[in-house]
Amino acid sequence: MSNSNNNERKVPELSLTSYTQGSTAEQIKFVDELMYGLKEYGFIILDNHTVDQNKVDEAYEMVKKFFSLPVETKLDYQGQNGGQRGYTPFGMEHAKDSKHPDLKEFWHVGRELAATSQYKGVYPENIWPAEVPGFKEKFLSLYESMDATANILLEAIGKGLDVPAGFFEEMVNDGNSILRTIHYPPTTGHDTTNSIRAGAHEDINLITMLVGATSSGLQLLDRDGTWLDVDSKPGQLVVDSGDMMARLTNNVLPATTHRVINPDNSGEERYSMPYFVHPHSKASLACLESCVGEGKKWEDITAGDFLNQRLREIGLIK
């Protein structure tokens, strides 16, 4: 496996307020820097965003209470839909093309749909742990906050891709976005030779927003084949583009391989909370006209079919 990257390359940091409150020139500069970061690194780090830190802190309190419950209790909440909602036990998920399980357990919260939504009954229903009072309220509040920031980012990406106004807004309206809360227990006693906390992978969705990881360990695979640390400060969002965005843009915005390495201190645990932004299941991932270039790299597919294909590849559905 390649060594860490010790050169001067660093994931760009951007301020969202320069887009939401800035002049026209500042907005254009933000879009240019956003597109550069996603093209060059597949990642950017976002400051001054609209996700309330209090909501993040409260959600982490809930998470720690849930993951400290007995295993038998947690297993009562194991979802039956490829882990798309509720609890997924330790060692269940693995990276695509890897037979070694990741050293993590996690919980998924999805969108609460209106009774009139055409996707009611298509997406799995949320599951809530009775043992942690307030879990549902805190997580739905954070979900809404993450969703709002995602929509702003997608609007900016849309401008960079020269798509019609509202393109991404329609695509993710009632989308199957997922807020995942991950617990990486201490690695003591586990197979750290073959398994790491999260094996090298690309995200499935359009974009991912990672909020408030409690310790370092995230690395991206840089263009020269070395691993580059993605170091964020408290209060920042780490944003990356996923496979759905890569398909949609014909790899103009590629999905960058990343991983979470094991800590030097085997007794250290880690929590993180990524928000995976998904389109609605009927959305087409056909290549955008502005990105065709010398020809489409992939066949057309819907977001729902692509999601199911990838869930099979990572071992969450059979």
pTM of the model: 0.90
Cα 313 to Cα 96: distance, rounded to the nearest angstrom: 6
Q: How far apart are CA 207 and CA 201, in angstroms?
A: 14
Give the CATH number of the domain where residue 294 resides: 2.60.120.330
Question: Within a domain: residue 16?
Answer: no
Taken in order 111, 114, 118, 121, the sign of the CA dihedral is positive
Does residue 10 fall inside a structural domain? no
User: What are the CA-CA distances from residue 25 to residues 19, 22, 29, 151, 212 (Å)?
Assistant: 9, 8, 6, 21, 30
The predicted structure's pLDDT at residue 262: 63
In angstroms, the CA 285 to CA 110 distance is: 21
- Report yes or no on 296 lying in a domain: yes
Contact 282, 303 (CB under 8 A): yes
**109 assigned to some structural domain:** yes
Contact 269, 185 (CB under 8 A): yes
Structural domains counted in the chain = 1
- Is residue 8 a part of any domain in this protein? no
pLDDT of 1:
41
Does 242 map to a domain? Answer: yes
What is d(CA 286, CA 70) in angstroms, rounded to the nearest whole number? 45
Q: Note whether residue 285 is domain-resident.
A: yes
Q: Which residues of the chain are under the pLDDT cut of 50?
A: 1-2, 5
On the CB side of 263, CA atoms within 13 Å amount to 16
- Contacts of 77 by beta carbon, 8 Å cutoff, 6+ apart: 86, 87, 107, 127, 129
* Per-residue pLDDT, 142: 97
The residues pairing with 123 across neighbouring beta strands, listed in sequence order, are: 120
Cross-sheet strand order for the sheet of 258-260: 198-201, 258-260, 218-221, 227-229
Question: pLDDT tens digits for 50-104?
Answer: 899 999 999 999 999 999 999 999 999 997 777 789 999 987 765 566 666 777 8
pLDDT score recorded for residue 315: 76
Q: How far is 52 from 245, CA to CA, in rounded Å?
A: 26
Which tokens hold the place of 171?
Answer: 């695509």
Residue with tokens 């496996």: 1
Query: Which residues form the domain of 81?
Result: 24-313
Strand partners of residue 4: 227
Whether 5 maps to a domain, the answer reads no
